[in-house]
Structure 1
Amino acid sequence: MLHTPARSGLEQGAFTVEAPVVTSVGRALVADWEELALAASEPNSYCEHWFINAALRHLRGDEVVRLAQVRDHVGMLIGILPLTSAPQFGRLRIANTSNWNHLQNYCGGPLVRAGYETSFWTALLDLLDGSEWADNFLSLRLIYADGPVRRGLEEAASMEQRPIHIAQSYERAILATEVSSDAYIERTIRPKKRKELRRQAKRLGELGTVSFEHLAADGPVEEWCDQYLELEAAGWKGEGGTALAVDAASEQFFREIITSAHKLGRVDFLRLLLDGRPIAMLVNLRSPPSVWSYKITYDESFARYSPGVLIELETIGQVLNDPEIERADSCAKPDHSMINSLWGERQMIEHVVVALNGPARKSAYFLCRSVDRLGATLRRVRNKNHD
């Protein structure tokens, strides 16, 4: 392990950092990781032990994944982040060290103990500088643009005069407000849209008894997983081969994270029922004070009644009435018309690239940065010509 002195006046003592190759999460680490998640300045369900362990077991394939861990002088875990080696950067075949992002991961930030953000990044970057396995530069995708973790990275890079740039950024919908759900819906959703949703809900109610149900702490989680997988596979995702049940590894991953999260109180599972039959289901991962949208599906034979939108409206009420929750991240694409019409706030998401020390590494970094900037310039010119 590499020993790194603290670089902040608030953070005293030496830090140790290691990044062993992992294929699962060892039991000895679980308690420390769980405690870290509760103390993190930016919670992230996608970086909790139960999520990462299931991903390592079912989604890793032939990737080599390292689990970077930083501890203070008494051994307290202050930060954790899975890393892998990416063979290229954009269209350039230049290998780089990246946070591990598989197809089921929608938030790539590390878990870092509040107050230790700068020391975490300083220790991690120093480890990468001195490791032969670390490729060229650090590439961090799906990172929140604001907040203490991002500021800690900026400070760590600045102290060492380490170049850093944003390769990509975009906004995605979030839900963050203190108003009531009724007031929020009235403020955020256009009157014409609200009227149409009321009409659809009324027409759906004419077909039978409509109800919403939340999976209870002692509820039958396996049964709910079965229903979700079956409903999703029957729709366009099943036809397109992207439904979870189409791939055995993805199905096993889903079942494992939902079961684990349910035991820990880390999942909100909701279904919309018509005469007791699920016609829409939604999964949110929770780590108070935040929740993250994970999966949603609906019965396409009822598409004219917008069951997916109706269950999202119910979710707005659940989130805003939950005393433990302050914000919800949609984890959606920036051009997602449905969620963008329902959730009024936005979160900037970045792909951040950080230089590592060494002549060859610096050359690779500056080459990629130059290509990024050229591409951004060409896009601006093209957009200007289209206006």
Structure 2
Amino acid sequence: MPETPAFQTGELGLEQMEAARGDWARLASGALEPNAFFSPGFLLAAARHFPPPERPRFIGVRDPGGALVGLFPLAAPGPSGTDGFLRLWRHELSALATPLVDRARPAETIAAFLDWVEAGRASAGVLFPRLPVAGAFHAALREATQGRRQLAVIETYARAALLPGASAVEKMAQAGGRKRLNELGRMRRRLGEMGALAVDVAAAPMAVRAAAEEFLALEASGWKAGRGALLFDAALATFLRSATRMLAEEGLCRIVALRLDGRAIAMMIAIESQNRSYCWKIAYDEGYRAQAPGIQLIGALTGLQLARPEIELTDSCAIANHPMIDRLWPDRIGVCDLAASARRSPDGAFRRACGQETLRRGLRGAAKAAAYRLLGRTPR
């Protein structure tokens, strides 16, 4: 009996990924589980404009016919090497790291990637950060590893999301209560007394390009001016311009603005993949802090998203227990960081790597909490 051709897994350079952009876009649009942060528009911009240590490495899986059926972007190793794990790429500007796998044979595709990791013999396993807990990829990963490799949950949390099934008013009342909703209404009326209040959505490529410049300027005018505004980092500003432009060309970027007499006082960049939308970046004019323009924008966005039947989930991309969005959106999605062993037989290296990762996160969390206490700030 002839041998069945195997899936082929290997690292692809930036030029190869650019040449395969059409196949990549098809994979993203039909992947088992969507992830806008691994779409061509987002990742190509990151690979071109981030500093070299922060750029993704592209690991592709092709089926026997040569079609791209899996994409597993990896983070560059740290100064100490792999530190026990190979890690799926996740920058601080991205909120998910779900690999793109073809929905026809997901378990085979994942198994081919893990076989490639095992053959490299350079790590104890792979760390998959920010996977939806109840997602299709999570289930396929468990199928691919069942009886073959170990899995361990390193961290899990829930974050706010918006699901269809009720009106914007009902959703926000469910999350924050009627009293809170009435207060937001009073703030909005005060804004309306200051001038003409309107909400607009930029979706066409040229409109998105102009709105992206507005967003960068708005973000730089506020509290982030000295602490992370993208406009003050040439590489990150170029990345945002490039990513929003490329995503808009594929119809996968929308920038929503709350305007007072035509001037943006709050803006949100949302990126999309398949039937999901991701609230990527938000900025607001602090001169109107008393009227909560950012919250007013989220209120308007809630209605806009619920009116779009093609969107089945809007992900807030927020931290757990976020003090703002958790009081506006009642729905939650579980997110986890999951590790898979590289070797098929149980060994101590994987268990030690998991223990070291858990300890490292605990120490980092304690140090961060102590720093916030010293600065008198609320953790974000």
TM-score (norm 1): 0.87
Amino acid at match of 1:141: P
Out of 215, 220, 226, the residue aligned to residue 239 of structure 1 is: 226
Query: Contact (CA 8 Å) 2:203, 2:248: kept in 1 or not?
Result: no
Out of 265, 273, 281, the residue aligned to residue 279 of structure 1 is: 265
Amino acid at match of 1:233: A
Per the alignment, residue 148 of structure 1 pairs with: 136
- Superposition RMSD in Å: 2.5
- State how far apart, in whole Å, the 1-side matches of 2:79 and 2:334 are: 24
Per the alignment, residue 27 of structure 1 pairs with: 18
Aligned residues: 361
Shift in Å, 1:126 = 0.5
- Within the alignment, does 1:363 sit opposite 2:348 as a pair? yes
- State how far apart, in whole Å, the 2-side matches of 1:372 and 1:26 are: 31
- Within the alignment, does 1:308 sit opposite 2:294 as a pair? yes
SS in structure 1 at match of 2:194 = coil
SS in structure 2 at match of 1:27 = helix
Amino acid at match of 1:131: G
SS in structure 2 at match of 1:336 = coil
- Cα offsets for 1:239-279 (capped at 9, x unmatched): 22x01111100000000011111111101111011001110
Out of 157, 164, 167, the residue aligned to residue 180 of structure 1 is: 167
Out of 97, 103, 118, the residue aligned to residue 129 of structure 1 is: 118
Shift in Å, 1:79 = 1.5
Is 134-143 or 256-265 further displaced after alignment? 134-143
- Within the alignment, does 1:48 sit opposite 2:39 as a pair? yes
Could you say if the C-alpha distance between residues 88 and 119 of structure 1 is closer, same or farther in structure 2, counting changes exceeding 3 Å? farther
- Cα offsets for 1:1-24 (capped at 9, x unmatched): xxxx9xxxxxxx644232325345
Amino acid at match of 1:169: T
- State how far apart, in whole Å, the 2-side matches of 1:306 and 1:125 are: 47
Counterparts of residues 75-86 of structure 1 (less than 5 Å): 75-86=66-77
Query: Contact (CA 8 Å) 2:57, 2:76: kept in 1 or not?
Result: no
Counterparts of residues 188-267 of structure 1 (less than 5 Å): 188-217=175-204, 219-240=206-227, 242-267=228-253
SS in structure 2 at match of 1:225 = helix
Could you say if the C-alpha distance between residues 64 and 374 of structure 1 is closer, same or farther in structure 2, counting changes exceeding 3 Å? closer
Shift in Å, 1:95 = 3.9
Per the alignment, residue 369 of structure 2 pairs with: none
Amino acid at match of 1:257: A
- Within the alignment, does 1:61 sit opposite 2:52 as a pair? yes
Amino acid at match of 1:237: K
- State how far apart, in whole Å, the 2-side matches of 1:322 and 1:299 are: 28
Shift in Å, 1:100 = 1.0
Query: Contact (CA 8 Å) 1:141, 1:351: kept in 2 or not?
Result: yes
% identical aligned pairs: 29
Shift in Å, 1:135 = 2.4
Amino acid at match of 2:46: A
4+ long deviations beyond 4 Å? 371-378
- State how far apart, in whole Å, the 2-side matches of 1:112 and 1:93 are: 24
- Cα offsets for 1:121-174 (capped at 9, x unmatched): 111000111125x423111111111122101111111131x1110111111111
Query: Contact (CA 8 Å) 2:47, 2:55: kept in 1 or not?
Result: no
Per the alignment, residue 318 of structure 1 pairs with: 304
- State how far apart, in whole Å, the 2-side matches of 1:63 and 1:213 are: 34
Could you say if the C-alpha distance between residues 171 and 24 of structure 1 is closer, same or farther in structure 2, counting changes exceeding 3 Å? farther
Give the gaps of 5 or more residues in structure 1. 6-12, 379-387
Shift in Å, 1:180 = 2.7
Shift in Å, 1:332 = 0.3
TM-score (norm 2): 0.88
Out of 76, 89, 95, the residue aligned to residue 100 of structure 1 is: 89
